[in-house]
Structure 1
Amino acid sequence: MTSTASPNNAQSRPGTVFRVVSGNFMEMFDFFLFGFYATAIASAFFPSGDELASLMMTFMTFGAGFLMRPLGAIFLGAYVDRVGRRKGLIVTLALMAMGTLLIACVPGYATIGYAAPLLVLTGRLLQGFSAGVELGGVSVYLAEMATPGRKGFYVSWQSASQQVAVVAAAALGFGLNKWLTPAQVGEWGWRIPFFVGCMIVPVLFVIRRSLQETEEFMARKHRPEVKEIFRSMLNNWALVVSGMMLVAMTTVSFYLITVYTPTFGKSVLHLTTSAALIVTLCVGVSNFIWLPVMGALSDRVGRRPLLLCFSALAILTAYPALHWLVNSPSFAHMLEVELWLSFLYASYNGAMVVALTEVMPVEVRTVGFSLAYSLATAVFGGFTPAIATGLIEYTGDKSAPGWWMTFAAACGLCATLVLYRRQRLRGAETPAEGMAA
């Protein structure tokens, strides 16, 4: 590990950012595909005389992957904090690839019966286990390689890479809907993007293998044993729970405006599939622009002001925006509402991810971040498509998903107040790290 190859070498930083977030792109690409093609997957693996029941089963399988995230955060996170960031990121990519290949290749229910949904569920569980530490590993790596005073900007590229995945998946889906008939997409066309993902994996392995370990980790003299890491997590359980609440706003809004958007556009607003995918693509572009901008702004004004401001705006506007949309559905109105929600999400998340790396104890930074993030995704975000679908069915209110986002934003607001009060009491607030009041 020579210093010339170090991630802290200014000349190598853009390339290092690209290498570290490349696997993060793959993870999100696969997750989005499952949501984008929920209707086709429901028909292939969860046939039912009730279309709603079939769709709900698909979304529950999608959400089941998130239940594995906390386990991945604990076991893989402890591995990363023990042996290094680089090795951990390679392991997570391998597990993600296995899950994607399984989903792409499994025959449908009509061919192998109940084994089909069980194998798809296994693929989702593998993806969820690896994802449990992927975001944390990438975020911690970027935080540790960042230049002083620019940590928010660098860490924001973790989330920005996800938006590239949204754009790529939506663009691929839009192309398939133009080239194939709806029947062809539903029967076999939906598998094509999954195979594309499988073909990208070898390239990503080559890219990630060239990563160097961060200087901050290499300089650390004490590498905690697994039992020390677990003990620290137990001692800091309140911090992990507060971190989970902080992430709730991010994960709910993210899956609401990306994974659930195509289904919402088609099933609720009765727009065309192409229209819903174009909106999703635009949301991904919007997120990609705002995330680094707000990450950089948080370096100047602090994390806390942005977190408070945009969680409050989400509380005030999420439901009214969706209510206006469902009462006047159109492509233009859906685009306007989704871009507003995108702005709220990206502005909050641009400050949130780096804030979460800063509040975690340094010796268990990866497992602490990953556990808080994974619990939030498992409890709140991962089941957002299923919860949104269920809320609409139960209440009869097509804008009911707005209440779910409002609740998540309230969690984020409360967590921000608790965490920064805790930081102030501990005397850990430093403007250089974005902890300005």
Structure 2
Amino acid sequence: MQVSPRMMRRVVAASVIGNALEWFDFAIFGLFAVVISRLFFPAHSDFASLLLALATFGVGFAMRPLGGVILGLYGDRVGRKKALSLTIVLMAIGTGMMGVLPTYQAIGIAAPLLMVLARLIQGFSTGGEFSGATTMLIEFAPEHRRGFYGSFQMCSQALAFSCGALAAYLLTAHLTPQALDAWGWRIPFLFGILVGPVGWVIRARVDESPEFVAYLREKAEKKHAGRDSIKSSFVSLFRDYPREMLATLCICVVGTVSAYVFVFFMPIFAKRQLGMPIADVNLATFVGTAVLLVCCPLAGHLSDRYGRKAVYLPGMIAYGIAGYFLFRHFVQSPSFESLLLAQVLISFFMSFFWGPTPITLTEVFPVGVRSTGASITYNVGVLVFGGLAPLFNTWLVKATGSNMAPIYYVMVSVVIGLIGALLLPGAAARLRPRTA
């Protein structure tokens, strides 16, 4: 089926803008974790309050595999478009709750409980967002440019992190601590309520994925629709594609650790552990995520031309080496300049395994289980290694007394990611989309 340039632009906009709005809502909780910890999780010490807030941040990730499976199966059954419209409405509900919740001082224990509920709704929604938006994007894209178009999914995440960091910078730089605690932190969450109507309108204007429509037509012609089941589709992933599941899970590990250590944990670490001004930290994070935004399409394009593995392997190795030395330099000489250097160069190398990830996670699975397969591997990887990374590394620094502890966590993820890249199926470095 031919896709018009106009419809392709709409699909890119629906995937990128909608996904960026969702991830903006998800990111700002981590960026304002220090403020939220004081207002919703008062404890005997600031450190204990922060751990409770970061645990709540991690709770959202516990719902992501469930949301990924349910919304992934829904997308594989009724279509990518309907599933994406549902995820964006759920995210608006969760974010809107956070923006209007009274604090612990106002309503007591109900405040942190409602905050946890809002995070659970956010996590469920985000669980289906990545795979649904990515699947739609690559199924509309020309076969020889799917890596390039798929990379826009990671651009949308980088855009969300960048906008979140910019919002945090502007608020922390121009508001007093009292104003920030009283009302300033709520502004990004209230803005995030726009994710519902704006995202829904954008996604309502795109057609259903042509590859998915062809898949449904083929099922109907073969009269398999009546005998197929959700259970068989789910089980077939683990029975028929174990190597694909393991390889993509490992690739997700290195990507998610890079995001949740260098985008979410680094600002907390720089402020609390090294005493840097929070405005400087947020500005460096903004610049680093802007580098990701610009470089991910280049990495996706290179993966189309030279193959996924040819981009993954050197990118991960360079990221591991640069990450270690730049993080050590920052710890030894904490300053805005050393943090900015670390964020920019590490983000540059991150882009070379961020960019090809969306296409890799989807093209290894056939159409009928594509959204579900990508949901499971992505969300399990994020749950185990990403969502709890800020909490785990905050505790690890405190327990070991070493400011270098987080980088060893990163090194482990690099090894896992390299194993995943080597396990990618196919003798050739370039993977071909599977349609049956």
TM-score by length of structure 1 reads: 0.93
- Greater shift, 307-316 or 91-100, is seen at 307-316
What's the counterpart of residue 408 of structure 1? 413
Report what 2:361 is aligned to. 356
Which stretch has the larger CA shift, 120-129 or 224-233? 224-233
Question: Which among 212, 230, 235 is matched to residue 231 of structure 1?
Answer: 235
**1:186: which partner in 2?**
181
Choose from 59, 62, 82 the match for 2:57: 62
* Residue number in structure 2 paired with 1:217: 212
> Which residue of structure 2 lines up, in the alignment, with residue 433 of structure 1?
432
* Other structure's SS at 2:44 match: coil
- Structure 1 distance, partners of 2:9, 2:409, is 37
Q: Return the match for 1:291 from 296, 317, 336.
A: 296
**Percent of pairs identical after alignment?**
36
Query: Matches of residues 31-180 of structure 1 in structure 2 within 5 Å?
Result: 31-180=26-175
Paired with 1:140 and 1:200, the residues of 2 have a C-alpha distance of 20
Counterpart CA distance in 1 for 2:357 and 2:172 is 36
**1:261 counterpart residue number:** 266
Cα distance in 2 between the residues matched to 1:432 and 1:312: 21
How many Å apart are 1:200 and its aligned residue? 4.5
Match of residue 331, structure 1, among 324, 333, 336: 336
Structure 1 residue 335: Cα displacement: 0.6
Return the TM-score normalized by structure 2: 0.93
**Conserved 8 A contact 1:74-1:367:** yes
Q: Which amino acid aligns with 1:341?
A: I
- Counterpart mapping for 1:311-390 below 5 A: 311-390=316-395
Letter in 2 for 1:40: V
Query: What's the offset of the Cα at 1:432?
Result: 7.1
Over aligned residues, Cα RMSD in angstroms? 1.8
CA distance in 2, matches of 1:258, 1:11: 34
Equivalent pair of 1:144/1:216 in contact (CA under 8 Å): yes
Unaligned runs of 5+ in 2: 220-224
SS state of the match for residue 49, structure 1? coil
Q: Is the partner of 1:433 in helix, strand or coil?
A: coil
Counterpart contact for 1:286–1:342, Cα < 8 Å: yes
| Preserved contact between residue 75 and residue 371 of structure 2 (Cα < 8 Å) | yes
**Equivalences, count:** 424
2:8 maps to which residue?
13
Q: Distance in 1 between matches of 2:158 and 2:321?
A: 25
The one-letter code matched in structure 2 to 1:188 is W
Aligned counterpart, 1:250:
255
Between the aligned partners of 1:266 and 1:377, the Cα distance in structure 2 is: 24
User: Structure 2 CA distance, aligned partners of 1:325 and 1:175?
Assistant: 24
CA distance in 2, matches of 1:115, 1:86: 36
Q: Which moved more, 1:201-210 or 1:44-53?
A: 201-210
Contact 2:162 2:287 in 1 (8 A): yes
Match of 2:200 among 205, 220, 233: 205
- Gaps spanning 5+ residues in structure 1: where? none
Q: Distance in 2 between matches of 1:397 and 1:229?
A: 47
Residue pair 2:18, 2:195 contacting (<8 A) in 1 also: no
Deviation at 1:39, TM superposition (A): 0.7
Q: Which residue of 1 aligns with 2:284?
A: 279
Q: Distance in 1 between matches of 2:117 and 2:48?
A: 20
